[in-house]
Amino acid sequence: MILLPIGHEQSTVRRLPVVTFGIMAICIVAFLVAGRGTIVSDDDIELADKATDALGYYMEHPYLELDDEFEIAFSGEADAIESEFAELGELAEGFGEMFGQPESSGNVADEQAELDRLTDAVLEARDDHAFFRWGLIPASFSPVGLVAHMFMHGGWLHLIGNLLILYLAGPFIEDVWGRPLYALFYFLSGCGAAGLFIAFNLGSEVPLIGASGAIAGVMGAFLVHYHQTQIKFFYMIGFFVRGTFDAPAWLMLPLWLGEQVALALLVGEAISGVAYWAHIGGFVFGVGASLLVRKAGIIENYVQPKLGEKIDTALVERPGLDLALAAQSEGRHADAFDLLATEIKSHPGDADTAELLWDAATELERRAEVTPLVLRSLQAQLRGGEIDAICSMWDRLVEADPAIRADPSFLLRLTQLQVKQGEHDRARETLRRALMNAGAAPAPAVALKIARVGRKLDPAVAAATLRALIGRDDVPGEEKATAESLLTEIANAGTEVSTSPAARQPAVRQPCPPPRQPVVQPAAAATRDTASIPLSEEPDEEPEPIPLSLD
């Protein structure tokens, strides 16, 4: 039976998972450099040929002494090969002359020297083999082996299987923990896996290779942070029964751990060639480290501030959002509405929560109740949100209430975003809304901001605002001088209020595009990695969310 994870419902991260992809790249390069790209590598062939020569010579001269190091390397203990050959010799005696009896040439010393030369050649080929140079050998521990073994793999299936699991889990833990902490965690998971492997294989000459121990640690972290996530599995029983099914992480990952423990105790690593104890050690370390990180508040107190609030706590713990999504999927829109209204108050900068709340309010015809909450969310998103999400949500608010009022400062920053998107008609409309919402006598600072934003976008509005400001008695002389300077700039640009198309007729709204569908997971709402947008200049280009197609 084959059971293989092929995807899960988490499908979006906010930043390119550089560490995860870097680890995958190093594994592939190490695999190819070590000559493992072919079915049988050159060092495999060389070692097998020399071992065959040595054992063949010993079969012809069983009265000679095999080197103890050679026997330990190939059978795990001294004299083991000699004992096996002795038993075969006794069996052969029972068949009389069918097998014949080997005889010495008369020069045992020369024969022994030849056997020693052949076994030394085998040991030299073994030491030159990539697995023994870079693998972790419990009997001869080395720091190089501790690090390098995490990137070595025995064959294509070994490599692809490990990288698939890393691809499914790694980017999401890296997204939560940040790159430096995740990289350290990955390395320590590999060390923890190696430590338990060594503890159960003391004195073994068999090298440990593969990233699976460290990846098991990532799986443990995934269980802690994404325990509710549905994982998609492919199964095949025989050649004809096959299909897929979904199961939660909290069920399947502990079952996998139990399987590894059972196989380690019942089958063992010497027979299977699988490092079960390394898997167990890595997974247990990953769970323990993740619980410790969460309990210590490292993500919230250290990682988030360091990343400039790019990692939202929604990715760490959002039970309210999970319940809201569950209620929504079950058609309990009123329950979802209440839960989402609570969530957006504690996470106002989460664009996806805002859109989900608006959808629920639309379903229940309660949009007026949540408009202030959604406006607050848009204002929070301006500190580092996705331009498309902000503009799209604002369009939906205006479509529902064309007379909607908002803070002029927010509207001016929104105007800049719309210009950035090339939506100049909408930007002019938003600029005029900012002027109307500023009142009959706007604060001089607000009026000057309107003029600065509008001097190229809508010179007529900018000029009218400046003239009104200059004509007021309550405006200090410094602000009037600034207004006169700006008005002169507009006049020098050759734009007259009386001839401006924008002055003669209001901007025409284009039909609103379909609202952006948020990418939200039951365990976490995806957020974005963005920079703040200064008011006095156009915002910088912002990165798009990075989709990871896992199904």
Q: Are residues 516 and 500 in the same domain?
A: no
Task: Identify whether 50 is part of a domain.
Answer: yes
Higher pLDDT, 503 or 232: 232
Q: Are residues 8 and 69 in the same domain?
A: no
Q: Are residues 299 and 196 in the same domain?
A: yes
Q: What mean pLDDT is reported for the chain?
A: 80
Q: Are residues 28 and 52 in the same domain?
A: no
Q: Are residues 329 and 342 in the same domain?
A: yes
Task: Identify whether 188 is part of a domain.
Answer: yes
Q: Are residues 52 and 99 in the same domain?
A: yes
Q: Are residues 489 and 539 in the same domain?
A: no
Domain with 222 in it: 2-34+152-304
Q: Are residues 26 and 46 in the same domain?
A: no
Per-residue confidence at 82, pLDDT binned at 50, 70, 90?
low
Task: Identify whether 227 is part of a domain.
Answer: yes
What pLDDT, on the 0 to 100 scale, is given for residue 515? 41
Q: Are residues 191 and 66 in the same domain?
A: no
Q: b/e string for 366-388 if b means 16 or more Cβ within 10 A?
A: bbeebbebbbbbbbbbbebbbbb
What one-letter code names the amino acid at 30?
Answer: A
Q: Are residues 378 and 519 in the same domain?
A: yes
Task: Identify whether 238 is part of a domain.
Answer: yes
Higher pLDDT, 127 or 182: 182
Q: b/e string for 212-226 if b means 16 or more Cβ within 10 A?
A: bbbbbbbbbbbbbbb
Task: Identify whether 143 is part of a domain.
Answer: no
Is pTM beyond 0.85? Reply is no
For residue 368, is pLDDT > 60?
Answer: yes
Q: Are residues 84 and 97 in the same domain?
A: yes
- Within 13 Å, how many C-alpha atoms sit on residue 238's CB side? 2
The most confident of 13-17, 343-347, 371-375, by mean pLDDT: 371-375
CB under 8 Å to 260, separation ≥6 — which residues? 276, 279, 280, 283
Q: Are residues 30 and 94 in the same domain?
A: no
Q: Number of folded domains in the chain?
A: 4
3-state secondary structure of 429: helix
What pLDDT, on the 0 to 100 scale, is given for residue 218? 97
Which of 64, 170, 16 has the alpha carbon at shortest distance from 529? Answer: 16
Pure H helices in 178-229: 179-199, 212-225
Give backbone dihedrals phi and psi of 425, rounded to 5 degrees, phi first.
Answer: -65, -45
Task: Identify whether 137 is part of a domain.
Answer: no
Task: Identify whether 404 is part of a domain.
Answer: yes
